[in-house]
Structure 1
Amino acid sequence: MKPVRPLLLALLLALVLIPAGAADAKTAIVRVDNQWQLQVDGKPYIARGVTFSGSSSSAAYEQDCAKLAALGVNTLRTWGVSTETKYLLDAAHKHGMKVMVGLWLRQGQPGAESDDSFDYTRDTAGMKKQLADTLTHVKFFKDHPAVLAWGIGNEVLLNSPNDAAKEAYARFLEKVVREVKKVDASHPVISVDAWMFGVPWWEKFTPSLDAYGINVYGGGVHVLPDTLQKAGVVKPWFITEFGAQGEWDAPKDANGVPREPTDAEKYDAIVDGWKNALAPHVQAGRCLGLFVFNYSASFDHTSLWLGMLSGTSTRPAWHAVREAYTGQKPAAPLPQVASVTISDVKREESGTWALVRVVMKDTAGAPPQVSFAYNFRGGATRHERDSVVRLEAKAGPTPDSWRVRMPNVKGAIKLYALAKDSSGHLAAATTSVALPPASQAATPSP
């Protein structure tokens, strides 16, 4: 879901030293008692993972890995390599963790991943360069003891414009996989795509993959295993991204804004997905592991919906990952924003103001700090569509109400009510309001 920053080869050459005294670890996917098994140095290994963007810079990677290890996480997944990859591998190894190292391949059309438009049907020189770059990365990192596997490409088939492009990419991917295996026979090679979009193309044109990586969200995780079996898939698979129901699947409210799951629904999706939907398939040797999306401290639309952190605050996914992988529940119920409603939207001399009522649930101790922000999915640029912007707010006429100044945009916005408690957990709930020209009244979502 994240594009990778370009690799500065000169810096990487200077950085890619293996930790002193470390021995590379061999990973394999083998058949044991007629079941697939992921092994590290001959011992069974189940990936209890998260996707990883980091809380800030590489200087924080060691602290990040220590925190994730305490949650029961044993594996990280990246989308590509950069000058910071070596630092992440070192930090992961220090804390007993492995990394599925992403090897980015360009997208065939603008989409969720990037605004790239690479032509796999014609750009021979571009494919040659991508293959060379990929092999360079593999050679540099293959002996690092934290490497678990290679994850080549992410949702390229989903973002391919037509069947000809999909076939061309899948054939190119087969060439990349074969060449990677010539360079490194000690780590499995997978490719990643969304839902079942990649499976038929991999099955037909990319037979050298050791396993499939599938990104799936929400209730789809309960349906996927049977769907794979009905499609005749015999190879093992990882869930390479997972979380609550995504925006692309969510029903829309009266203002056309996708309804975001509640914090409780986000929490339950992760715990249920691992313990109930996937557990039988892990036991049966079909599913080799899970990566919950995403360890990042960003404050934006995707991170608030699916992320484990928001700045230094924890979100529901943080606590859900810990329960899923260790069985440890929060010491006390996490506070939740039970409801947020908008009324009395008025144009004043200082701007457009709305009365917003926020009802909390499961709060203990000091009242949480409430604030507001908005997201405008109708923005002209990707940056605008993804940005979450703080809003000015004043105390309202009742203890659970605030007067919030609306942004100067025309159209439906998503309004966030955010509540941070004394333990550093950030609760959130959303609603929407359609902001009209100044002379008209706005329409809150029911």
Structure 2
Amino acid sequence: MTPARSTLLGCALLGALLLPPATAAARTVLLQKDGQWQLQVDGRAYVARGVTFSGSSNSRAYEQDCARLAALGVNTLRTWGTGSETHLLLDAAHKHGLKVLVGLWMRHGQPGAEGDDTFDYTRDTGGMKKQLEDTLTQVRRFKGHPAVLAWGVGNEVILNSPHDAAKEAYARFLEKVVREIKQVDADHPVISVDAWTLAVPWWEKHVPSLDAYGLNVYGGGIHMLPSELAKAGVRKPWFVTEFGAQGEWDAPKDAHGVPREPTDEEKYAAIVDGWNNALAPHVKAGRCLGLFVFNYGASFDHTGLWLGMLSGTATRPAWHAVREAYTGQKPATPLPRIAAVSVHGAEREGPSTWARVRVDVEDSAPKLQGLSFAYNFRGAATRHERDEVRRLDARPGPAPGTWRVRMPAVRGAIKLYALGKDAAGNLAVATTSATLPLAMAEAARPGDGAP
């Protein structure tokens, strides 16, 4: 999938950073008894109640981020890669009693959900050698830190490999990487991460040295995952390394061809149900080692609004759902809710096109401190533009609950957001789609809707 990665994401070496020698490293082991697996840290059983981590702003906020997450019942963070700020995150995590599944980035075989990268694992021996050397440098650098739980090598590389030959070549290279990591560090398990069960046949055949599997799954698929793994004959333990509400790639499309985003209530329910009902039996049975909810990040973009725990400084439903899943604690007061947003035609006013929009607010929910509107255009030319969410000018309409919203000058369907925050800083979002008549779109002033 396409998260807004933090500065932790890059796999480039950004300077030789030395770790403070204050605390001895912790040892993580996987034990198997009577067909059941257990993760242990320094001899104590450990189940990952985790989130993926991009951070709320920058490394100066890591202390606050880790303290807030610990208060939600989170005990583990997952990153996708290492960089110049990794040691700061590890220090902050350790201070607040958190562990980190440290990501070790592997390049992808074609441009895709994870970025515009193309790497040929069937031919580029020099490039593979460099990736291996860089990876081992990172393992040596951080293996002694007490916050390290395990290593997560790669993310959805099999998904983003163009053909079977590339998948096999990557899997064979991955086995070499895993073996050499274990020679450098015998105290932390090594997993690899991919989407759904797509990589399982390749891991099973070509990567026997993996200690466990990392599986990214969203929505109702989490209930089907254990049986799919059983059908594939998987005997190794596994983590769910990304999880949240149904993703765009699976969502049904509306009349304008725009994937239907789950409601805030559906997003909340997916996380609580996924942990308490889908995974709990398999944690107890010694098959599932833990969960990482996607994503602790604050970006105001398409993915952040769909799946994030924060939006700027505001909290989203996933924030509260993580707390209920891991601690049983529900929100002290109801969360704000926008029941629906709908478009009822458009009209020209000078050089601009204004849509007539109705917003239905849940009466029993906390009062919203104002409404705003934004749009996303998935038909844009570049990846960056496709993920942008841009603010729209709006003014109250003639009837209660109605608004006039100035529409952007784009051809094609847009996703329209209605956003409202309550006094406690919780952000409610509802979405719909709209398509301007072509003549209106062409006549609209270029740049309408810019932030």
> What TM-score range do you get, normalising by the shorter chain?
over 0.9
Give me the whole-angstrom Cα distance separating, in 1, the residues matched to 2:46 and 2:395: 53
Q: TM-score, normalised by structure 1?
A: 0.96
TM-score for the superposition, normalised by structure 2: 0.95
Instruction: Deviation per CA, 1:232-268: give whole Å up to 9, x if none.
Output: 0000000000000000000000100000000000000
| 367 and 135 in structure 1: CA distance in 2 versus 1, 3 angstrom threshold | closer
CA–CA distance in structure 1, aligned partners of residues 329 and 295 of structure 2: 20
CA displacement at 1:333 relative to structure 2: 1.7
Greater shift, 29-38 or 362-371, is seen at: 362-371
Q: Check whether the contact 1:268–1:320 (CA below 8 A) recurs between aligned residues.
A: yes
Instruction: Give me the whole-angstrom Cα distance separating, in 1, the residues matched to 2:114 and 2:273.
Output: 27
**How far 1:436 sits from its partner (Å)?**
3.0
Partner in structure 1 of residue 353 of structure 2: 352
Residue by residue over 1:71-111, the C-alpha shift from the partner in whole angstroms, topping out at 9 and shown as x without a partner, is 00000000000101000000000000000000000000010
1:345–1:441 contact (8 Å) kept in structure 2 = no
The equivalent residue for 1:16 is 18
One-letter amino acid of the structure 2 residue matched with residue 330 of structure 1: P
Give, in whole Å, the separation in 1 of the partners of 2:405 and 2:151: 48
Deviations 1:374-430 (A, max 9, x none): 000000000110000000000111221111000011110000011111110000010
- Contact 2:394–2:404 (CA under 8 A) maintained in structure 1: yes
Report sequence identity in percent.
74
**Pairwise CA distance, 1:8:** 3.9
C-alpha distance in 2, partners of 1:253/1:397?
28
Change (3 A) 1:365 1:265: closer
Aligned counterpart, 1:47: 48
The alpha-carbon distance between structure 1 residues 49 and 347, as it changes in their structure 2 partners (threshold 3 A), is same
CA distance in 2, matches of 1:144, 1:371: 45
Matches within 5 A, 1:140-155: 140-155=141-156
The code of the aligned residue for 2:206 comes to: F
Candidates 6, 12, 19, aligned match of 1:7: 12
CA contact (8 A) 2:11 2:81 kept: no
Aligned-residue CA RMSD in angstroms? 1.4
The 2-side partners of 1:304 and 1:439 are apart by 28
Separation of aligned partners in 2, 1:273 and 1:366? 30
1:16 maps to amino acid = L
Q: Is this contact kept in 1: 2:171–2:203, CA < 8 A?
A: yes
SS in 2 for 1:39: strand
- Structure 2 CA distance, aligned partners of 1:23 and 1:194? 35
Could you say which residue in structure 1 is the equivalent of 2:277? Answer: 276
Deviations 1:333-375 (A, max 9, x none): 2111101111131122140101111111155554332100000
Match of 2:296 in 1: 295
On the 8 A contact 1:105/1:152 being kept in 2, the answer is yes
Distance in 1 (alpha carbons) for counterparts of 2:359 and 2:100 = 41
C-alpha contact 2:336 2:368 (8 A) present in aligned 1:
no
Partner Cα distance (1:161, 1:299) in 2: 31
**Equivalence for 1:196:** 197
**Aligned residue pairs: how many?**
438
Secondary structure at the aligned position of 2:399 is classed as coil
Spell out, residue by residue over 1:307-341, the C-alpha distance to the aligned partner (whole angstroms, 9 max, x if none). Answer: 00000000010000000000000012211110111
Corresponding residue number in structure 1 for 2:82: 81
Q: Unaligned regions of 5+ residues in structure 1, if any?
A: none
